[in-house]
Chains A and B, each alone.
Chain A
Amino acid sequence: MKFLKVLGQYLGGIEFSAGYRWQHWIRAISIFALVATGFYIANPFIIHGTPSATPTRFLQADIREWHIIFGFALIGAVLYKTIYFFFFPEGKYERKSIVDAFNIKLALQQIGYYLLISKHPHTKGVYNPLQFWAYFTLYILFYGIIFTGLALYAEVYHQGLGGLLYPFAKWVESICGGLAYVRLWHHIFMWLIIIIVFVHIYMAVYNAVFGKNGGMDAIFSGMKWEKEEH
């Protein structure tokens, strides 16, 4: 193609494994599906006005079922990512970010970068301090929404997995002060996740626009490119 020419030298490598990319996108799609179905469950906005002739209509039940299916998909993805972070060999680049996370100078420099007054700092791990703490909060919220979600689940489905989780549900209810509060917290966690996801998407686009290293492509292809430093 005419507009392509040699532009310096790039180092390339796999940043995100296939498993990593799958869990990211399963998580992403689940969040969107869960928010949509969740708003419906909170206040059903599509309803039937006339009674059905046969008792085979299950609008709310169907939407709730999808909420549960995506909920368990989200749980799977979050568990995978948690184990990845702590135990996978590839997770070591992520684990290195913990050291950076407590480096205040680095954090200030990162803020400076976003305020357009200082250069992008060099980090040891894959996440800069701001990113690390944002994701850290996100995972706290994930576990919050999963715990409250499983408690709500076990109160509806008393058999099988629900039966197994029942004592756990009671424990969550005691902590929250009743099932109504479990439901309220579940909803609040959703809003906090929405806000973090919103900022996350902006940051990803921002870095794609100004980083100019195909950074956003990595979550699709797995490949990371960096200009060789001289």
Chain B
Amino acid sequence: MLDVKKVKQRIEELRKLPGIASKPLSEVLEENGFTRRDFLKWAGTMAVALGLPASFAPVIAEAAEVSDRLPVIWLHLAECTGCSESLLRTASPTIDTLIFNYINLEYHDTIMAAAGWQAEENYEEAVKKYKGRYILCVEGAAPTKDNGDFLTIGPEAETGLHKLKRAAKDAAAIIAVGACSSFGGIQAAYPNPTGAVGIYKVLDKMVVNVPGCPPSDRNIVGTIMYVILYGQLPAVDNFNRPKFAYGMRIHDLCERRGHFDAGEFVEEFGSQEAMNGFCLYKMGCKGPYTFNNCSRERFNQHTSWPVQAGHGCIGCSEPDFWDSMAPYEEPLANHKFESVSADATADKVGITILTIAGVAIAAHAAISAIKNPKE
């Protein structure tokens, strides 16, 4: 895996392919106020984020420069486009977001100029032209109920499910971007009326999940960079998330962890404890159950992340998180079990059963005392 030579060879091959960018990446970066030095620094941190030795930095810089060679087709299924938006609408673009703009996005609903029939044509052409070579990024869940009729796209009213399967067939690699395409997201939350599922459930090919609501630009671009570097998918965990980003829990590297171990907890937003920067576990932080690198990479140019801003993690990169992590501002001990009754926590159900058992036992003991059991 750590074979620089192989990676270099691959980059050379990519370099030979026609790029789509009108000017080299270095110029784009310069126009946006990034120096060559910033770019190399970025390459260094990206190498570390991908779990590679720092010596890989120059190779990563080269890979970024040829990233406009590898065609990417980006599908939008049932979702809010927040993942793309979070990458595109930053007030101050990072190198990650600029590279996202720089990659060869052959088809992307949100940012392409074409519309209507023309867009449709572009799509068909891209799929045909780059058959077996393109990276397929999918944002959004696939509704499966009623043959997927809950989501239709384009003038032919093709279902999202069908379009996804068609695009996946000839893709070189498939990346699920965001919680929805990875695990279904909010569409799949109970009672899931449209039968929405993560795309891996309807495809018979390997899918790398990059969950999050949204995932950080670093994780999206990092995964794409990895595919460009190696021509293959990164090592993944048990839920097919790249290990370089989702190998550890939020809680493992959280800056408030010391307060957690010390038993120093916030019990109310805006309180003195909150000002002291105590742990947010009792405010519903789901960092202990959530695998992601937010506590290390943060968002918006490494500026901040939810826990730093004072709100607990809601576990958005975990499967099923709308259901499994609720309630979001209380500890998991207050988790409500929908099927029993609307406000049944495990503790309430347990105490109820225990009370019933206690009453039954008292009655049984009393009756036995009066009317002794048969010897």
Residues on A facing B (Cβ under 8 Å):
42-44, 46-52, 55, 57-61, 63, 113-114, 116-120, 155, 158, 170-171, 173-174, 177-184, 187-188, 191, 194-195, 198-199, 202, 206, 210
Contact = CB atoms under 8 A, between A and B. Distances in A.
A51 B289 contact: no
A113 B357 contact: no
A119 B371 CA distance: 13
Contacts of B249: 155, 179
Contact of B265 (A47, A52, A63, A118): A47
Given A57-B262, A170-B237, A177 B319 contact: yes
Contacts of B320: 177-178, 181
Interface residues on B, range: 35 or more
Contacts of A113: 373-374
B45 interface: no
Interface stretch (B93-101, B116-124, B172-180, B360-368): B360-368
Nearest to A167: B238
A43 B374 contact: no
21 contacts: A42-B332, A43-B282, A43-B331, A43-B333, A44-B263, A44-B282, A47-B265, A47-B282, A48-B264, A51-B278, A60-B262, A119-B375, A178-B289, A179-B289, A179-B290, A179-B291, A184-B335, A191-B349, A195-B357, A199-B361, A210-B368
A47, A114, A119: which has the most chain B beta carbons within 10 Å?
A: A47
B354 A210 contact: no
A118 B374 contact: yes
A57 B262 CA distance: 5
A86 B324 CA distance: 38
Contact of A195 (B288, B332, B350, B374): B350
Contacts of A210: 368, 372-373
Contacts of A155: 249
Q: Which of B259, B263, B282 has the most CB of A within 10 A?
A: B263
